[in-house]
Structure 1
């Protein structure tokens, strides 16, 4: 997919090299035939409109690298994360990020950030023919530059997918003893869980923790006399009532719209199946309560806090 994206780019300099007028692309852009991805880089409008914001940002990163006149630059931080397939919470909307191993100082604008940083050979890699910081270097950069919540989203993904162990992440942190945000990065590594299956679940855990709710069990399977019911995202233990749990589910859009999750069902059928599944879960003797929340509730932590409180989720002392 990354290679095919790069092949879609139309570069003004390529026209010049073939003796054509590079203003052809500017005129095509004015006519609505192509979209300007980056100064000197365009893509057909139909292709651009089919890309989601994450793919559009990935294409901007590729275009920024392709149009730079200096050799030796690598995609880094968020831009490298997009090529490595690492998750974010929300659509990436910041500047394209590059690293220049030979520069003495970096430069930064609203659209492009170039950091000056030496790189060892093991910190360099290639993804689909594009120079990027290695996975380890990218992960370390993100842990020290992302917000606390975004860092947990990253750690959960790495642990769940098997791309890294907690011990390995601690080694990466230890290699930068004087780095800023070291404490926040270390907390994210300690708090991360292999049970976090999506960015929304990771954010939910952080917000619930900050509101002092009891630590939930993650991805808990349930069954009744008719057989398996399914796996529940969160199961909050009820203090002083052994075996009783308040069940919680984060409802991301993919649950109802994603083709992979629906398995050929219509969104309406998914809703009906989820309702029947919830009824079965509520009927279990161990269920002390049931609560659902969405991205909207995560945008305002007080909304999630109120939903968990009403469902009877206990708080830590």
Structure 2
């Protein structure tokens, strides 16, 4: 099991075997040199604080596996989702999640949840050197255990990326027909849309739906006399005006700070380019309104609906 440890994960048993003692580890933590990320597992403080929450959770998950005195455990649910590269919304904030195929009952603490569940071989996998539930099993577990919004975020990602199809997701849920949250999961699968490119867009769509707004088209390209302007996240139809649309954009932090999106531009250049793009979109004869919102607007159930209403987005009749 020790081979599963991340390169930057320091195990107390290895440090003690090399001549260091528990008091030295305690002093290193007290001085801020090391961070104790799990009982018996440490990471250099500089490395730890540079990690995003997903990678911090990953280190804890690896530590939980390598410090347990039992073989056969697998990462599951959100911990497995992180290893599979599935999107997150509102987590990882909970415990590391494992499954024990041989146990009769599970255990749960604020830091670690171990479920007792039989796992056939086809539902077990190894990814990045870590034992995890298979992608299908991970997806099914998440759809049946997470919130309605989180289930839509997952469904959108799977459909957009081509990792799964609606038919496949329906089949996975059919196998677990007796699951308590199957109806909610089934709704999320049907509501899922391959046009959902980010978790923020998926959550926005749920909020707009719950507030009764018309169904938007997703990822719609627009052009003018100078060529392609760009692809707009949401295009809300205007009732009785088939050629008119209210355009909407979800602005995630990555748009202005993510290096991949900026393509070498400074954040200031991105802002200026976005302003120019918005001006061109507003100038189109088909544009009946334009609205932007952020993660803060979808965290409050009233903020996004208010913005959409003021921009002229119609409600369903």
1:127 aligns with 2:99: no
1:181 aligns with 2:162: no
Matches within 5 A, 1:1-317: 6-18=6-18, 20-317=20-317
Q: Distance in 1 between matches of 2:70 and 2:228?
A: 58
Q: Distance in 1 between matches of 2:138 and 2:91?
A: 18
Q: Distance in 2 between matches of 1:22 and 1:252?
A: 44
Q: Distance in 2 between matches of 1:38 and 1:23?
A: 17
Deviations 1:126-146 (A, max 9, x none): 111111101000000000001
Deviations 1:144-190 (A, max 9, x none): 00100000000101111110011000111001010011000000000
8 Å Cα contact 2:4/2:66 also seen in 1: no
Q: What SS does the corresponding residue of 2:113 show, helix, strand or coil?
A: strand
Deviations 1:36-82 (A, max 9, x none): 01010001011001101111111111111111111110000000011
Q: Distance in 1 between matches of 2:304 and 2:50?
A: 33
8 Å Cα contact 1:13/1:22 also seen in 2: no
Q: Distance in 2 between matches of 1:303 and 1:175?
A: 39
Shift of 1:20: 4.6
Q: Distance in 2 between matches of 1:25 and 1:163?
A: 44
Farther-moved stretch of structure 1 (22-31 vs 121-130): 22-31
Unaligned runs of 5+ residues in structure 2 are none
Q: Distance in 1 between matches of 2:28 and 2:286?
A: 64
Unaligned runs of 5+ residues in structure 1 are none
Shift of 1:10: 0.6
Aligned residues: CA RMSD: 1.3
Q: What SS does the corresponding residue of 1:7 show, helix, strand or coil?
A: coil
8 Å Cα contact 2:4/2:130 also seen in 1: no
Q: What SS does the corresponding residue of 1:269 show, helix, strand or coil?
A: helix
Farther-moved stretch of structure 1 (175-184 vs 7-16): 7-16
Q: What SS does the corresponding residue of 2:242 show, helix, strand or coil?
A: coil
Q: Residues 4, 108 of structure 1: CA spacing in aligned structure 2 closer, same or farther, 3 A cutoff?
A: closer
Shift of 1:29: 1.3
Q: What SS does the corresponding residue of 2:302 show, helix, strand or coil?
A: helix
Q: Distance in 1 between matches of 2:279 and 2:91?
A: 34
Aligned residues: 315
Q: TM-score, normalised by structure 1?
A: 0.97
Q: What SS does the corresponding residue of 1:301 show, helix, strand or coil?
A: coil
Q: Residues 23, 125 of structure 1: CA spacing in aligned structure 2 closer, same or farther, 3 A cutoff?
A: farther
Q: TM-score, normalised by structure 2?
A: 0.97
Q: Distance in 2 between matches of 1:152 and 1:13?
A: 42
